[in-house]
Amino acid sequence: MSQELIVHNSVSRKKEAFKPLEEGYVGLYVCGPTVYSDVHLGNCRTFVSFDVIYRYLLHLGYRVRYVRNITDVGHLTGDSDDGEDKMSKRAKLEKLEPMEVAHKYTNGFHDMMRIFNTHSPSIEPRATGHIPEQIEMVQAILDNGYAYESNGSVYFDTLKFAKEKGTYGDLSGRKIEELMAESRDNLKNQDEKRHPADFAIWMKAAPEHLMRWNSPWSVGFPGWHLECSAMSTKYLGEQFDIHGGGNDLKFPHHENEVAQNLGSCNCAGARYWLHTNMLLMNGKKMSKSDGNTITPTQLFTGESVHISKGFSPMVIRFFMLQSHYRSTLDLTDEALQAAEKGYKRLLEGNKALMALNGASGSGDSALDKEINELIDGAFAEMNDDFNTPKALARLFELVSKINSLKGGQLSMKEVSAATLERLQETFRIFIFDILGLLDEETTAGGNNQALDKAMELILDIRQEARTNKDWGTSDKIRDALKAAGIAVKDGKDGASWSVE
């Protein structure tokens, strides 16, 4: 298996060797959330997948500029709607300013990303903060003849573009003749378009539309696809390395992004397109209308008919890592229970590994070789298009060895000190740095250092109370911590604590 990084490129539909434009640097753009409602689990699956990809690129030593946008310009609610925009609709419903809606759900999104222990991107640009850049791009596309103005709106001339460039549809594999416009703006204003496959890059705002900006064409707002073209170009350049998103965005969003980039600057933007697959529940698409849905919070608390109990954020993260990002992920109660066992087994294996000592092998035993091969194998699986389930399988083979070494069925005399050190280093790097898991026994919500320090202080105060035979204070502290989900255990070496 290859030691160089291979990624699956949606454009070629093949795995390709990853070669960044500039040695040592990677530009990564991922389509972020639309912030008009709470982030759902499907979104979390995609963002956790790209978090692991980002982490692995960092592990390989790349300097990565990771850009993930916030879609806070309202966009039309769907094919069958009357043209009311999501943000305006929600704002009216909740009696809020559109920006208040965006702010509220952006905060909620950030909280959820923290709970799942994802790294923040390097830049998180908002669509509303980049209206001038988007207007410039519309102008450039108009100047190049690939767009036309109609009644204050500007449409991308898909047919002309496809004829002249011969590339429209490469990413999604769609043919222009087959295209009935499936873009989010499609049923409205069909009469303004020259062809149903044309899509709006600037839309004149209807009177009820709350988010609106001045432009050379009308008071209006940019088309949805435009923000990602404009912001990826601004922060990563006219050509950059990787563009990601869920595969539901391949068409029309990503296809139209490519067309806009080519139409404005004759550059295709990203060289590698990576797409994550969808999250399902009980084998079916998650859908609010038929009740086949669960929120992250319901998953944590267990308050849902679909699950028998609550599952912690790290168990859910582990569950997500157990399938490859390009496979569908089917959420079931049994799969979550299995993930809980797997997560615990991995972390207990890690603890047992850190306590192993007495390695005195010469390095040429079969066991020593096997351990090194399994370590190489785990990294090779990550190099093969970030294959986390297969890398985890290798780590579990190593956990079996670790448990046998701990139990005495295998001897530490067969393991060299260098191999033990390499194994310990590998587990630390894999579990915490690459897979981004936290040890929930000793951490809460990723805020581990602060919590450790605070708990140390609280247990010191409690110890002082106990020394003074102030049992009331001691019990009060223990009970209050218990109510907060932290268990305190008194042992002969003092008190210890764990998150329940």
What is the binding site for ligand AMP (CB under 6 A)?
A: 31, 33-34, 42-43, 45-46, 245-246, 248-249, 276, 278-279, 286
In whole angstroms, the minimum distance from the beta carbon of 226 to ligand AMP comes to: 14
* Residue 248 interaction partner, one of Zn ion, ligand AMP, none, beta carbon < 5-8 Å per kind: ligand AMP
In whole angstroms, the minimum distance from the beta carbon of 241 to ligand AMP comes to: 18
Question: What is the DSSP track for 67-128?
Answer: EE-BB-S--B--TTS-S-BHHHHHHHHTT--HHHHHHHHHHHHHHHHHHTTPPPPSB--BGG
* Residue 158 interaction partner, one of ligand AMP, Zn ion, none, beta carbon < 5-8 Å per kind: none
Q: Which of 35, 228, 378, 481 binds Zn ion (CB under 5 A)?
A: 228
**CB-closest chain residue to ligand AMP:** 246
Neighbouring-strand partners of residue 495? 490
For ligand AMP, the closer of residues 27 and 42 by Cβ is 42
Which ranges of 266-365 would DSSP assign to H, the alpha helix? 296-301, 313-321, 333-355
In whole angstroms, the minimum distance from the beta carbon of 70 to ligand AMP comes to: 10
Q: Which residues are CB-contacts of 254 (< 8 A; sequence separation ≥ 6)?
A: 171, 172, 243, 245, 273
- The structure tokens listed for 72 are 């806070």
In whole angstroms, the minimum distance from the beta carbon of 478 to ligand AMP comes to: 42
* Residue 264 interaction partner, one of Zn ion, ligand AMP, none, beta carbon < 5-8 Å per kind: none
In whole angstroms, the minimum distance from the beta carbon of 164 to ligand AMP comes to: 30
For ligand AMP, the closer of residues 248 and 460 by Cβ is 248
Torsion angles phi and psi, residue 342, rounded to 5: -60, -45
* Residue 228 interaction partner, one of Zn ion, ligand AMP, none, beta carbon < 5-8 Å per kind: Zn ion
For Zn ion, the closer of residues 54 and 430 by Cβ is 54
For ligand AMP, the closer of residues 116 and 430 by Cβ is 116
Residue 260 to residue 293: CA distance in whole angstroms: 35
* Residue 121 interaction partner, one of Zn ion, ligand AMP, none, beta carbon < 5-8 Å per kind: none
Residue 117 to residue 446: CA distance in whole angstroms: 6
In whole angstroms, the minimum distance from the beta carbon of 428 to Zn ion comes to: 35
Contact (Cβ atoms closer than 8 angstroms) between residue 68 and residue 124: yes
Interaction pattern, residues 11-50, with Zn ion; x per rule: CB under 5 A? --------------------x-------------------
Where is 129: in which H helix or E strand?
none
Q: Which residues are CB-contacts of 400 (< 8 A; sequence separation ≥ 6)?
A: none
Where is 395: in which H helix or E strand?
helix 388-407
User: Applying CB under 5 A, which residues contact Zn ion?
Assistant: 31, 228
